[in-house]
Amino acid sequence: MTEAYIYDAVRTPRGKGRPDGALHEMTALSLATQVLEAVRDRNGLDTALVDDVILGCVMPVGEQGSDIARIAALVAGYDRQVPGVQINRFCASGLEACNMAAAKVASGEARFAVAGGVESMSRVPLGADGGAMMVDPTFAFDHYYAPQGIGADMIATLHGFSRADVDGYAVQSQERAAAAWSEGRFAGSIVPVKDQAGVVLLDHDEHMRPQTDLQSLGALKPAFVKMGAAGFDAVAKARYPDLGEISHVHHGGNSSGIVDGAAGVLIGSKEAGASLGLKPRARILGGASIGSEPTIMLTGPEFVTRKLLDRLGMTTADIDLFELNEAFAAVVLRYIQALEIDPAIINVNGGAIAMGHPLGATGAMILGTVLDELERTDKETALVNLCVGAGMGTATVIARV
């Protein structure tokens, strides 16, 4: 079987996902287009060799609807023969797009595929796509649906993470992100977003709060108390009779930030790369997804990591760097606990708590981030994964070449 290589990975900076955020006045289409242009222009890519553009987008309605991947490919001036597909595996969509691209390359279906994602959360807000999950009793009642914030608080309760634990993790995310930015560790992958006239509008992650400390976080009220009282705490206890009272520890400061952004990864076969004189940066050893308990919804990373490493004949000891999306602090703390991972080798440059989580794009962003870090520190292997809505996990293992 053909092997799939990563040739490049870029991302936009992340703008605050609010009407006063820097990227609010740029369409999602423009963000996706600018990423596709950068992937082409940085690599002298003959786009006629691109056999698919796969973009994650979790709210594919309104301006993000109608298969934004194909539309962005056309607007970016890719060859007309390049198709596009928009996919949705919730928060892991950007990484799932990379796994699909790798599979297409591995099977011989694609020479190159551009994978990534886009989400303008300030323009197409969370929940805009509706869905049966939250409201149809056939699922919500019969399968004990609870929102992710409740799930995150359930993890903290079940596995003993205090408010100080989750806030401490959040402070670390801010510190690591600030250090990474100040040392220019993201510089090679950031594609500044340009406005309608071509003027750079944003060249840094706008959501960060480097001054965050335990005291400032301590002042924030837990965000999911009211939601719990509305009925979801009861659902959680019905699902987990031994749970006891839920300890609501998560809030805006220790959860992923709502932001706008896009990312793109150029994946291809060795032959396709050689035909353009491109040097592969990493090989994709494999990818996997898994389903996990849907009420907590956020425990998939542990299980998908075990599943993928088993299949690859590897153990956590074979992985030099881990990247797990910081959806909520307890998700990462539980992962570290369950897999006995050294906290010093996971999310080393911060994550979504500090920099934000543009739903459909994040998976591709953190894949690029960890690849940059492997190169910077001359390490070999990395495992990237995310927890996923409705109880899932998606992971990818890469190795430098």
Partner 1 sequence: MDNFTLDIGSGGVAVVTFDALGKSMNTISHAVQRELGELAHLLGADDRIVGAVLRSGKPGGFCAGADLRELAADMEVWRAATSQEDLRTGVAAAGDFSRQVRALETCGKPLVAVVHGAVLGGGLELALGCHWRIAIESSSLCLGLPEATLGLMPGAGGTQRLIRLAGLVAALPVLLDGAPIELPDALALGIIDLAAQEGEAIDKAREWILANATAQAPWDVKGFRMPDGGPHTAMGYSVFGPQVAARRGTAGQGEAAANILKAMYEGAQVPMHAGLRIESRYFFNTARSPAAAKQVEAFFAARKAAV
Residue placing its CB nearer to partner 1 in the complex, 103 or 262: 262
Contact between residue 298 and residue 382 where contact means Cβ atoms under 8 Å apart: no
Nearest distance from residue 197's CB to partner 1, in Å?
Answer: 4
Do 35 and 10 touch, CB atoms closer than 8 A? Answer: yes
Residue 367 CA, chain-centre distance (Å), reads 8
- For 192: left if phi > 0, alpha if psi spans -120 to 50, otherwise beta; the answer is beta
Closest distance between partner 1 and the C-beta of residue 120, in Å? Answer: 10
Task: Go through the chain and tell me how many residues it has.
Answer: 401
Residues that bind partner 1 (CB under 8 A): 19, 24-25, 27, 62-63, 123, 195-200
Helix H or strand E segment including 35: helix 28-43
Q: Which residues contact 239 (CB under 8 A, 6 or more apart)?
A: 144, 146, 295
Active site residues: 91, 357, 387
Closer to partner 1 by Cβ: residue 64 or 247:
64
Using the CB atoms, write b or e for 230-268: b if 16+ within 10 Å.
Answer: eebbebbbebbeeeeebbbbbbebbbbbbbbbbbbbbbb
Side-chain half-sphere of 216: how many Cα atoms within 13 Å?
11
